Amino acid sequence: MQNLGFAMSMIPLIKALRLQKEDSVNMLTAHLQLFNTNPYFSAPVIGSIVRLEEEKTSPRDSLDTSAIKKSLMASYAAIGDIFFWGALRPFASIFAVILIYMGLIIAPVAFLLIYTPAHLWTRLKGFSEGYRLGKGGFEFIRSLDLPSVAVKIRWFSIILLAVLAIWLSGSIGYWPFAKALSIIIRFAALATVLLCVLLIKKGISQIYIIYGAFLVSILISWKGYLN
Q: Could you read off the pLDDT of 56-67 as tens digits, one per residue?
A: 755 555 457 888
**Residue ranges making up the domain that contains 191:** 145-227
pLDDT over threshold 90, residue 125? yes
Whether residue 49 is found in the same domain as residue 108: yes
Average pLDDT value over all residues in the chain: 81
Q: Rank 107-121, 147-161, 171-185, 212-226 by mean pLDDT and report only the highest.
A: 107-121
CB 151 within 8 A of CB 88: no
CB 137 within 8 A of CB 72: yes
Q: Could you tell me which of 55, 57, 53, 54 has the C-alpha nearest to residue 31?
A: 53
Whether residue 18 is found in the same domain as residue 127: yes
End-of-domain residue from the set 144, 168, 184: 144
The total number of structural domains in the chain stands at 2
How many angstroms separate the CA atoms of 141 and 174, rounded?
44
Q: Is residue 85 part of a domain?
A: no
pLDDT of residue 177: 46
Lowest mean pLDDT among 143-147, 152-156, 175-179: 175-179
Whether residue 125 is found in the same domain as residue 182: no
Whether residue 39 is found in the same domain as residue 100: yes
Whether residue 121 is found in the same domain as residue 131: yes
Phi-psi region of 120 (alpha: psi -120 to 50; beta: other; left: phi over 0): alpha
Q: Is residue 83 part of a domain?
A: no
Q: Is residue 86 part of a domain?
A: no
Mean pLDDT of 49-75: 77
**How far is CA 9 from each of CA 3, 32, 129, 192, rounded to the nearest angstrom?**
10, 11, 17, 49
